[in-house]
């Protein structure tokens, strides 16, 4: 057995790049900055049309189900925790722990998506709110639907990484790949933090 | 693909260990803040106070996630600057649009108001 100690990798610095930042991480941060602007426009559009709703526009308070949305918000927050723990695990070379955390993140992500699907279905069939029959429906479904699509892409990515970890090619040296994926997942979470407050909670004031 | 990262100082290993409990504690804090937000909307306080409180609580949650879960606290400052460029542009745009569409002149006219305005005969009002 080798007696030399394995040096701990520095996961926050890369001396081979001109910025000192790993290229994959820099790319992901640049993408997230652009995605900020993308969601900013969607949230702005919803808020603008809530300033002066046209006559006959449905009352969001009669449509929204705060207990369900609160539950899905909590689930997404917990998925963010599990994602952070997955990154923490792989940065310590613990692939098994990373797999467990990834699986839990996927599970919570699927629960969130399930809640979204149920919510949309309930709004359409029971509340009569569709994407085309009101301004509220158009802005609401476009915003939350786009967010849901981001969550779905994240779940697919997480699942792919989970199964890829079984090939033995995911080690501490590839932690940057898991971390980049984690950045995307956390971004999806922080967007929901904003959406939950602006779209749901502010309607009840 | 970027090269393998350089070896870190031994002290960082202990810091990595303690991050586990930091993440758990922050997650619990985020859950508590979310609970406070949900309760707050039912409280009999003035609207401006509640809106301000909700915004502040959301900002706190937002900052905790980006600086701890997304590692901005431990990464190079350039990552923070890069993300905040997009964030400021998005926030600034949203704020500008809210100001623009919040003024009285931006309020859409009703059909009656529009019809009462003298206009050429070939202009049709859509109800």
Please check whether residue A201 is in contact with residue A65, taking contact to mean a CB–CB distance below 8 angstroms. Answer: no
For A54, residues 6+ apart whose C-beta sits below 8 A from its C-beta are: A135, B108
| ipTM of the prediction | 0.89
Q: Check CB contact of B73 with chain A, cutoff 8 Å.
A: no
Q: Check CB contact of A13 with chain B, cutoff 8 Å.
A: yes
Q: What is the C-alpha separation between A163 and A199, in angstroms, rounded? A: 36
In a domain, residue A85? The reply is: yes
Residue B15 confidence class, pLDDT cut points 50, 70, 90: low
Q: Which of A37, A52, A84 sits opposite B86 (nearest CB)?
A: A37
Return the ∠ at Cα A62 (arms to A61 and A68), rounded to 5°.
75
CATH number (domain holding residue A197): 1.20.120.80
In a domain, residue A6? The reply is: no
At residue B6, the pLDDT reads 46
**How confident is the prediction along chain A (205 residues), in pLDDT tens digits per residue?**
444 444 567 777 787 788 889 999 999 999 999 999 999 999 999 999 998 888 888 999 999 999 999 999 999 999 999 999 999 999 999 999 999 999 999 999 999 999 999 999 999 999 999 999 999 999 999 999 999 999 999 999 999 999 999 999 999 999 999 999 999 999 999 999 999 999 999 999 8
**A174 CA: distance to closest CA in chain B (Å):** 9
Q: Would you kindly state where each structural domain of chain B is located, as residue ranges?
A: 18-75, 76-117
Number of helices followed by number of strands (H, E) in chain B: 4, 0
Q: Check CB contact of A195 with chain B, cutoff 8 Å.
A: no
Look up residue B1 and give its DSSP letter. -
Which chain A residues have a beta carbon less than 8 Å from that of B90?
Answer: 36-37, 39-41
Query: Which pair of structure tokens corresponds to residue A96?
Result: 């098994």
Backbone angles phi, psi at B121, to 5 degrees: -65, -30
- Count of structural domains within chain A: 1
Contact B62 A194 (CB under 8 A): yes
Please check whether residue A165 is in contact with residue A116, taking contact to mean a CB–CB distance below 8 angstroms. Answer: no
In a domain, residue A13? The reply is: no
**Which residue of chain A comes nearest to B48, CA vs CA?**
A205
First to last CA, chain B: 58
Query: Which pair of structure tokens corresponds to residue B13?
Result: 């290993």
Dump pLDDT digits (tens) for B57-92: 999 999 999 999 999 999 999 999 999 999 999 999
By the 10 Å C-beta count (0-12 exposed, 13-18 middle, 19+ buried), A7 is classed as exposed
Residue of A4, A5, A12 to mutate, testing the B interface (most B Cβ within 10 Å of its Cβ): A12
Question: How many alpha carbons lie under 13 Å from residue B14 in its C-beta half-sphere?
Answer: 3
Contact B108 A66 (CB under 8 A): no
Contact B70 A43 (CB under 8 A): no
Residue of B20, B35, B71, B77 to mutate, testing the A interface (most A Cβ within 10 Å of its Cβ): B71
**Which residue of chain A comes nearest to B72, CA vs CA?**
A12
At residue B125, the pLDDT reads 57
Residue B119 confidence class, pLDDT cut points 50, 70, 90: low
Domain that holds residue A96: 23-204
């Amino acid at each position: 057995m080798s007696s030399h100690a394995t040096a701990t990798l520095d996961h926050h610095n890369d001396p081979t790049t001109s910025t000192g930042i790993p290229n994959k991480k820099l790319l992901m941060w640049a993408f997230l900055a652009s995605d900020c602007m993308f969601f900013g426009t969607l949230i702005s559009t919803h808020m603008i049309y809530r300033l002066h709703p046209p006559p006959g526009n449905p009352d969001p308070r009669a449509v929204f189900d705060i207990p369900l949305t609160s539950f899905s918000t909590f689930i997404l927050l917990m998925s963010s925790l599990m994602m952070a723990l997955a990154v923490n695990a792989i940065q310590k070379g613990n692939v098994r722990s990373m797999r467990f955390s990834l699986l839990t993140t996927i599970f919570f992500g699927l629960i969130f998506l399930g809640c979204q699907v149920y919510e949309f279905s309930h709004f359409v069939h029971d509340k009569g709110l569709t994407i085309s029959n009101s301004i509220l429906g158009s802005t609401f479904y476009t915003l939350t639907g786009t967010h849901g699509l981001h969550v779905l892409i994240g779940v697919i990515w997480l699942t792919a990484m989970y199964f890829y970890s079984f090939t033995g090619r995911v080690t501490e040296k590839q932690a940057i790949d898991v971390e980049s994926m984690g950045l995307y997942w956390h971004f999806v979470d922080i967007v929901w933090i904003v959406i939950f407050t602006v779209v749901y909670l502010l309607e009840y004031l | 693909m970027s090269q393998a990262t350089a070896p870190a100082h031994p002290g960082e290993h202990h810091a990595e260990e303690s991050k586990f409990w930091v993440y758990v504690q922050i997650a619990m804090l985020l859950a508590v803040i979310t609970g406070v937000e949900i309760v707050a909307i039912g409280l009999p306080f003035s609207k401006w106070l509640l809106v301000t409180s909700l915004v502040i609580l959301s900002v706190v949650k937002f900052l905790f996630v980006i600086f701890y879960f997304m590692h901005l606290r431990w990464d190079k400052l350039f990552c923070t600057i890069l993300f905040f460029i997009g964030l400021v542009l998005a926030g600034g745009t949203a704020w500008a649009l809210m100001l623009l569409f919040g003024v009285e002149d931006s309020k859409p006219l009703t059909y009656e108001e529009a019809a009462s305005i003298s206009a050429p005969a070939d202009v049709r009002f859509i109800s």
